[in-house]
C-alpha cells in the first residue's frame, strides 16, 4: 500500500517513533512536526492509524543506535 510520507504525517511520525525507540502511540501533525497542530489517536481515521502503524512497524527493526 502507498502511504503519504510527508514530514509530520502519520506514516512519518510512526517511522520516527520507531527509529528513536519511542512507544507506539498513533498521532500526526497537520503540517510540519512540532510546528503545527498535533492530531491524537482519538481524532484519527482508521486509514491514518493504519499509516502510522505501517511506518512504525516498517522501521521497528532499524532503530537509531545511541
20-55 pLDDT tens trace = 999 999 999 999 999 999 999 999 999 999 999 999
pTM: 0.91
How many angstroms separate the CA atoms of 55 and 47, rounded? 12
Picking from 45, 44, 27, the residue whose alpha carbon sits closest to that of residue 36 is 27
Amino acid at each position: 500500500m502507498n502511504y503519504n510520507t510527508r514530514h509530520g504525517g502519520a506514516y512519518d511520525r510512526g517511522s520516527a517513533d520507531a527509529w528513536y525507540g519511542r512507544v507506539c502511540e498513533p498521532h500526526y501533525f497537520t503540517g510540519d512536526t512540532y510546528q503545527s497542530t498535533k492530531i491524537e489517536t482519538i481524532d484519527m481515521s482508521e486509514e491514518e492509524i493504519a499509516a502510522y502503524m505501517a511506518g512504525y512497524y516498517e522501521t521497528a527493526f532499524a532503530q537509531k543506535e545511541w
